[in-house]
């Protein structure tokens, strides 16, 4: 099978590409820019893949409130152009969406299922929901995967980091940390989400799936677990979303049910705590490899 992966330089793209079985063409924004549909059409027309995987997205949740056009240009209108190209080429389109397509229900305490009605709380969520609908309506062969709270060793392409690294960096600077306790999610390791996507593809699944690690916690609990597993004891205090005052409203609860995936009896996703421990080991290994390889040779 031949795969073309858009957004291949992002944290999910970089962990997914090496796991896909077959020929993989990794596309960065330079070659296939969702805001320049002619580049996407040209690249895919040349590659002629059997599967297109769209890991590209505008992911600046707070900034999207003041620049909705930029969020929609990538997450909705770019996808509006991508989906019919995949349809016309007869490819399967794998597309990623977000837990932030949910969240209006302030009393929710049960993981959202694929068949729960969405109700996004911010501009980013709305742009991702529009993207989902466009894929589902314009490309009959699709697999839409909603995921949540991603972190990977390569760090978010756009933001250049992830929550775990940000926490470790701030703790290392000795700064007091205030982290929200009233937003519950499932932190998810990109390696695990990528592996589960590969399983879905191998099993020939299409439609809509939720893929996250299992369990849930608040961002504050997540930060506390990062520090406990890293042997750090920073000054960490719980705060509320209202006191924190981020520009974008976020769901009080946005854990996703992975029951539909697990009913397929494919290799299970691990609890978020185990995935976090694996990530912390992996980043230590990656740092050791970097320091062993030394400076590049100069001629």
Ligand X SMILES: NC(=O)c1ccc[n+]([C@@H]2O[C@H](COP(=O)([O-])OP(=O)(O)OC[C@H]3O[C@@H](n4cnc5c(N)ncnc54)[C@H](OP(=O)(O)O)[C@@H]3O)[C@@H](O)[C@H]2O)c1
Element (H, E) at 92: strand 92-98
Place of tokens 């940000």: 166
Encoded one letter per residue, x for contact with ligand X by CB under 6 A and - for no contact, window 213-252 reads ----------------------------------------
Element (H, E) at 68: helix 68-72
What distances in angstroms separate CA 158 from CA 4, 10, 21, 145, one per listed residue? 20, 7, 27, 20
Q: Determine whether 124 is an active site residue.
A: yes
Does 57 interact with ligand X (rule: CB under 6 A)? Answer: yes
Sites for ligand X among residues 151-190 (CB under 6 A): 156-158
Beta-carbon contacts of 116 under 8 Å, excluding residues fewer than 6 positions away, are 102
Does 34 interact with ligand X (rule: CB under 6 A)? Answer: yes
The minimum distance between CB 115 and ligand X, in angstroms, equals 19
Helix intervals (H) in the chain: 11-16, 37-47, 68-72, 79-89, 123-138, 163-172, 190-202, 219-230, 241-244, 259-262, 272-293
Q: CB-wise, 260 or 295, nearer to ligand X?
A: 260
Residue nearest to ligand X (CB): 10
Choice among 100, 112, 124, 189 that is catalytic: 124
Kindly tell me which residue out of 3, 77, 96, 219 binds ligand X, with binding defined by CB under 6 A.
96
- CA 293 to chain CA centroid, Å, is 30
Q: In whole angstroms, what is the distance from residue 224 CA to residue 226 CA?
A: 5
- CA 224 to chain CA centroid, Å, is 22
Sites for ligand X among residues 72-91 (CB under 6 A): 74, 78
Q: What is the DSSP letter of 256?
A: B
Does 5 interact with ligand X (rule: CB under 6 A)? Answer: no
Q: In whole angstroms, what is the distance from residue 145 CA to residue 89 CA?
A: 21
Does 26 interact with ligand X (rule: CB under 6 A)? Answer: no
Does 33 interact with ligand X (rule: CB under 6 A)? Answer: yes
Kindly tell me which residue out of 3, 4, 5, 10 binds ligand X, with binding defined by CB under 6 A.
10
* Span of 9-17, 105-113, 194-202, 274-282 interacting with ligand X by CB under 6 A: 9-17
| Residues contacting ligand X: total by CB under 6 A | 29
The residues carrying an active-site annotation are 124
Contact residues for ligand X, defined by CB under 6 A? 6-7, 9-13, 29, 33-35, 55-59, 74, 78, 96, 98-99, 128, 147-150, 156-158
């Amino acid at each position: 099978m031949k795969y073309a992966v858009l957004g291949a330089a992002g944290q999910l793209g970089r962990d997914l590409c090496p796991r896909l079985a077959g020929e993989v063409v990794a596309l960065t924004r330079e070659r296939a820019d969702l805001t320049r549909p002619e580049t996407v059409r040209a690249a895919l027309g040349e590659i002629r893949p059997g599967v297109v995987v769209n890991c590209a997205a505008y992911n600046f949740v707070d900034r999207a409130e003041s620049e909705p056009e930029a969020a929609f240009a990538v997450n909705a209108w770019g996808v509006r152009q991508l989906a019919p190209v995949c349809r016309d080429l007869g490819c399967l389109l794998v597309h990623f969406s977000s837990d932030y397509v949910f969240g209006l229900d302030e009393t929710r305490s049960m993981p959202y299922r694929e068949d729960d009605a969405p109700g996004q709380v911010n501009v980013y969520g709305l742009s991702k929901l529009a993207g989902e609908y466009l894929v589902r309506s314009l490309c009959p062969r699709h697999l839409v995967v909603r995921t949540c709270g991603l972190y990977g060793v390569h760090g978010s392409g756009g933001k250049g980091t992830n929550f775990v690294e940000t926490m470790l960096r701030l703790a290392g600077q000795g700064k007091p940390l205030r982290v929200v306790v009233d937003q519950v999610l499932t932190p998810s390791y990109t390696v695990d989400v990528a592996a589960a996507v590969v399983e879905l593809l191998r099993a020939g699944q299409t439609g809509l799936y939720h893929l996250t690690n299992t369990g849930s916690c608040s961002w504050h609990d997540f930060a506390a677990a990062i520090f406990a597993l890293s042997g750090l004891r920073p000054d960490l205090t719980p705060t509320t979303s209202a006191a924190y005052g981020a520009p974008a409203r976020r769901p009080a609860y946005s854990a996703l049910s992975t029951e539909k995936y697990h009913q397929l009896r494919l290799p299970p996703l691990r609890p978020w705590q185990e995935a976090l421990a694996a990530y912390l080991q992996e980043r230590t290994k990656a740092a050791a490899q970097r320091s062993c390889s030394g400076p590049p040779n100069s001629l």
